[in-house]
Structure 1
Amino acid sequence: MISLTLTDLAGVINGSLVLDGSATADTRVEGTVDTDSRNIGPGDIFVAKPGETTDGHRFVPTAASQGALVAIVEHVVEASISQIVVQNTVEALADLAREVVGRVRARGQLRVVGITGSNGKTTTKNMLAHILAADGDTVSPHASFNNEVGAPLTMLRVTDDTKYLVSEFGASGPGEIAKLAGLVAPDVGIVLMVGMAHAGGFGGIEETFRAKSELVRAVRSGGLAVLNADDGRVVAMSPIAQENDVAVRWFGHAAKADVHASDVEVTGEGTLCTVSVDGVSAQLRLRVLGAHHVMNALAALAAATALGVSGKDAIHRLEQVEIAERWRMQPLGSDRVRIINDAYNASPDSMSAALRTLAQITTPDQRRVAVLGAMSELGEYAEEEHDRIGLLAVRLGIERIVIIGDAARRMFLEAVAQGSWDGEAVYFADADAAYDYLTTELRDGDRVLVKSSNSAGLRFLGDRLGEFFS
């Protein structure tokens, strides 16, 4: 974070400064800001956020013992540390992020990119950050820091040397993206797609469209919206951009897009395609598995080249990205039994894409195995969408369909109803039972997809299988 005095810090977040004897009002703070006391070190700022299972105020003494200079709290805590008392620590975190980014931006070079979409945010963020990092100091989220806490924490990592801030904006309901993006008014806003992820929270696909379009509305006047030319709902955001004096740059498979791809070939080692950037074509060899990640790469290329990176350099840097992120199409195991751990998150769109990738990368002498768990936050659409995935797995000819957990049972029942009645589809109540089955059932040549929403916990099953077959 940039350097602020304790008095300045208190003023920014509208708090009351309570000094410990070791500090003064003019003491400067510029350390890391975090809500997790385990990440706190000397000179850092600890934010005591109340939570569902615990209260951050309990850990103020721990943060103090680890060298934190100040704690942002909602009430004074008995601890040897200066404290700033505010009404709401999460809102204070947002206020601080807005101020810090605003000050850095006013001093010069900082450019801000915001990314949203029902799927692909983290992968696109990682790809774009990798491209931009070679061009200047780049700040981007750890993992999927994209909510009301994670996004401001990322923003607060900027310094006066930062050239690019890449922010990822997730949401489970209307208004959340507007609030987060409003903290920084991005120079570039990327909308990847409008799908069924979190549809239960939004109340349907049209509400999801309205929520994702909040990013386009938040882009500063004179900025740029990078939009998916293949998604009709994203295309419908173009008039919103025009109304707000925001230019549009298109990406997709459509030849009319400013950045587009053709001749896509998916293999077990990655994805090959021809990309055209503003009329100049080149080969792209992505190490990341899956044709669906081509769209994420195109979005990253469209944004990076708009920010001044040459197409040639951007493509070269993209080719160095080995995996999208841990637990996202992550190859594990060995050539003998390959595990693809994609169980960090799941929606109907990403589940379908992962299953199709499994079918595409498997040769005739290899067996396709899908280990699937529930897709969360689908609300009233849950039964229908789980049925659809069970049907798709059968139609793709997946030889072993392993369903785990009661919330995913509809996939198993649909797979059986559609023809997988001779042992192809099996059901287990929990991951441990599935692990015992898979460690004896899997054989040389198998290609195994592990896919579920985060809440199902199958990412850890994927890790265990990867280690077993390494």
Structure 2
Amino acid sequence: MISTSLSHIASVLGGRLVLRGDDTPETTVSGLIDTDSRLIEPGGIFVAKPGETTDGHLFVPAAIERGAVLALVERELDQPVSQVVVPDVVEALGELARDVVARVRATGNLRIVGITGSNGKTTTKNLLARILEDEGSTVAPRASFNNEVGAPLTMLRVTDDTRFLVSEFGASAPGAIARLAGLVTPDIGVVLMVGMAHAGGFGGIESTFHAKSELVRATREGGLAVLNADDPRVAAMEPLARERGQEVRWFGRGERAQVRALDVEVSASGTRAQLVVDGEEHTLELRVLGEHHVMNALAAIAAATALGVTAEEAIARLSTVELAERWRMQPLGSERVRIINDAYNASPDSMSAALRTLAQITGPDERTVAVLGAMSELGEYADEEHDRVGLLAVRLRIQRIVVIGQDARRMYLEAIAQGSWDGEAVFFPDADSAYDYLRNELRDGDRVLVKSSNSAGLRFLGDRLGESFA
């Protein structure tokens, strides 16, 4: 964080400043901010966030031991560290981020890109950050820091030297993206897709559309909207962008897109695509597995070239990316038994894309094995969408379908109902029993996809299988 006095922090947050030791109102702090006491470094600021199972205020002593010089709290503590007492530390975290980014932006050097979409946010964020980091100091979220805590923590990492801030915005509820993006008013807003992820919480796909369009509304007037020309709901955001005087830059597979992919070839080693960027042809060699990641690359290229990076430079930098993120189409195991661990998140769209990738990268003498868990946050659509996945796995002729957990059982039942040969699908109540089965079942030449939502915990099963067959 940029150097800031204690009195300024208290004033911005409307909080009460409690001084300890030799601190005065004009004492400045500039360390990193975190809600996890284990990650605090000397000079850092600890945010004592109340949680569902514990209370961050209990960890203030641990943060002090690690070198915290300021605590953001909701009640004054008898601890030897200066404190700013506020009614709500999460809300205060956002307001501090707003202030810090505004002050850095006032120097005229900072450009801000916001990214949202039902799928692909984290991959696109990482691809864009990889392109921009060679242009200048770039701040981007760790992992999927895209909520009311993670997004501000990322924003607070900017300094006077930062040239690019790439923010990822998730939507836990209607209005969430508007609040988060409103903290920084991006220069460029990237909308990837509107799908069924979180549809249960939003009340349907149209509500999801309105939630994702909040980013276009929050992008600054006269800025740039980077939109998916292939997604009708995203394309329908164009009038919103025009109302705000924003230029629209399209990406996709159709001729409308200024940044588009033509021929796409998928293999076990990555994806190759012929691109047209503003009328000029290029070849993209992407090591990240999956045809669906080509669209994420197109979005990153569209944003980067709008920021002055040449298409040649952007594409060359993308070729160096070996992994989008841990637990996202992550290759594990060995050439003998290849494990693809994609179990950090799952929606009907990403589940379909992952299964299609498995089918595409498996050779005629190899066997496809899909290890599947539940997709969360689908609400009333859960049964129907899990049925669809089971049906798709059969239609793609996945040779072994291993379904884990009661919430995913309908995938198994649909696969059994639609399958045409015995033993194609099996069901296990938990990951441990599935591991025991897979440890004995998998054989040379198997290509194994592990896919589920984060809450199902199958990412750890993927890791175990990767170690077993390394």
Query: TM-score if structure 1 supplies the norm length?
Result: 0.99
Note the C-alpha offset of 1:108. 1.8
In the alignment, is residue 168 of structure 1 matched against residue 159 of structure 2? no
Map residues 215-254 of structure 1 onto 2, 5 A cutoff.
Answer: 215-254=215-254
> Residues of 2 paired with 1:244 and 1:256: CA distance?
21
> Residues of 1 paired with 2:22 and 2:326: CA distance?
42
For residues 426-448 of structure 1, the C-alpha deviation after alignment (integer angstroms, 9 at most, x for no partner) is 00000000000001000000000
In the alignment, is residue 259 of structure 1 matched against residue 259 of structure 2? yes
In the alignment, is residue 145 of structure 1 matched against residue 145 of structure 2? yes
Question: Partner of 1:112: helix, strand, or coil?
Answer: strand
> Residues of 2 paired with 1:197 and 1:420: CA distance?
30
In the alignment, is residue 437 of structure 1 matched against residue 424 of structure 2? no
Residue equivalent to 2:59: 59
For residues 311-356 of structure 1, the C-alpha deviation after alignment (integer angstroms, 9 at most, x for no partner) is 0000000110101100000000000000000000000000000000
Note the C-alpha offset of 1:79. 1.0
The amino acid across from 1:297 in the alignment is A
Structure 1: runs of 5 or more not aligned: none
Note the C-alpha offset of 1:172. 2.2
The amino acid across from 1:368 in the alignment is T
Residue equivalent to 1:214: 214
Residue equivalent to 1:102: 102
Map residues 333-372 of structure 1 onto 2, 5 A cutoff.
Answer: 333-372=333-372
Map residues 121-136 of structure 1 onto 2, 5 A cutoff.
Answer: 121-136=121-136
Report if the CA contact (8 A) 1:61-1:78 is conserved.
no
> Residues of 2 paired with 1:14 and 1:319: CA distance?
47
Residue equivalent to 1:283: 283
Map residues 282-431 of structure 1 onto 2, 5 A cutoff.
Answer: 282-419=282-419, 422-431=422-431
> Residues of 1 paired with 2:69 and 2:268: CA distance?
50
> Residues of 2 paired with 1:34 and 1:13: CA distance?
17
Residue equivalent to 2:451: 451
For residues 154-177 of structure 1, the C-alpha deviation after alignment (integer angstroms, 9 at most, x for no partner) is 000000000000000001210000
Identity across the alignment (%): 73
Report if the CA contact (8 A) 2:178-2:214 is conserved.
yes
> Residues of 1 paired with 2:429 and 2:58: CA distance?
36
Question: Partner of 2:455: helix, strand, or coil?
Answer: helix
> Residues of 2 paired with 1:299 and 1:279: CA distance?
16
> Residues of 1 paired with 2:397 and 2:7: CA distance?
65
Report if the CA contact (8 A) 1:370-1:398 is conserved.
yes
The amino acid across from 1:260 in the alignment is R
> Residues of 2 paired with 1:164 and 1:210: CA distance?
27
For residues 34-55 of structure 1, the C-alpha deviation after alignment (integer angstroms, 9 at most, x for no partner) is 1110011211110111111111
4+ runs deviating over 3 angstroms: none
Residue equivalent to 1:116: 116
For residues 369-426 of structure 1, the C-alpha deviation after alignment (integer angstroms, 9 at most, x for no partner) is 0000000000000000000000000000000000000000000000000015511100
Report if the CA contact (8 A) 1:69-1:81 is conserved.
yes
| Alpha-carbon RMSD | 0.6
> Residues of 2 paired with 1:368 and 1:283: CA distance?
29
> Residues of 2 paired with 1:117 and 1:442: CA distance?
35
> Residues of 2 paired with 1:147 and 1:50: CA distance?
16
> Residues of 2 paired with 1:151 and 1:172: CA distance?
13
Structure 2: runs of 5 or more not aligned: none
Question: Partner of 2:167: helix, strand, or coil?
Answer: strand
Note the C-alpha offset of 1:77. 1.2
Question: Partner of 2:433: helix, strand, or coil?
Answer: helix
Note the C-alpha offset of 1:67. 1.3
> Residues of 1 paired with 2:69 and 2:21: CA distance?
12
The amino acid across from 1:250 in the alignment is W
The amino acid across from 1:394 in the alignment is V
More displaced stretch, 64-73 vs 387-396: 64-73
> Residues of 1 paired with 2:386 and 2:437: CA distance?
23
> Residues of 1 paired with 2:307 and 2:15: CA distance?
37
In the alignment, is residue 22 of structure 1 matched against residue 13 of structure 2? no
The amino acid across from 1:232 in the alignment is P
For residues 55-81 of structure 1, the C-alpha deviation after alignment (integer angstroms, 9 at most, x for no partner) is 101111111122111101000112111
Report if the CA contact (8 A) 2:292-2:353 is conserved.
yes
Question: Partner of 1:371: helix, strand, or coil?
Answer: strand
Question: Partner of 1:46: helix, strand, or coil?
Answer: strand
Note the C-alpha offset of 1:256. 2.0
The amino acid across from 1:166 in the alignment is V
> Residues of 1 paired with 2:85 and 2:256: CA distance?
54
Question: Partner of 2:195: helix, strand, or coil?
Answer: coil
Note the C-alpha offset of 1:22. 3.0
In the alignment, is residue 159 of structure 1 matched against residue 159 of structure 2? yes
> Residues of 2 paired with 1:161 and 1:14: CA distance?
28
> Residues of 1 paired with 2:209 and 2:65: CA distance?
47
> Residues of 1 paired with 2:16 and 2:229: CA distance?
49
The amino acid across from 1:20 in the alignment is R
Query: TM-score if structure 2 supplies the norm length?
Result: 0.99
Residue equivalent to 1:37: 37
More displaced stretch, 18-27 vs 334-343: 18-27
> Residues of 2 paired with 1:135 and 1:41: CA distance?
28
> Residues of 2 paired with 1:185 and 1:380: CA distance?
34
> Residues of 1 paired with 2:441 and 2:325: CA distance?
28
> Residues of 2 paired with 1:373 and 1:194: CA distance?
22
For residues 172-212 of structure 1, the C-alpha deviation after alignment (integer angstroms, 9 at most, x for no partner) is 21000000000000000000000000000111000000000
Question: Partner of 1:240: helix, strand, or coil?
Answer: helix
> Residues of 2 paired with 1:275 and 1:388: CA distance?
32
> Residues of 2 paired with 1:444 and 1:17: CA distance?
64
The amino acid across from 2:295 in the alignment is M
Note the C-alpha offset of 1:24. 1.6
> Residues of 2 paired with 1:469 and 1:457: CA distance?
20
Residue equivalent to 1:469: 469
The amino acid across from 1:31 in the alignment is G
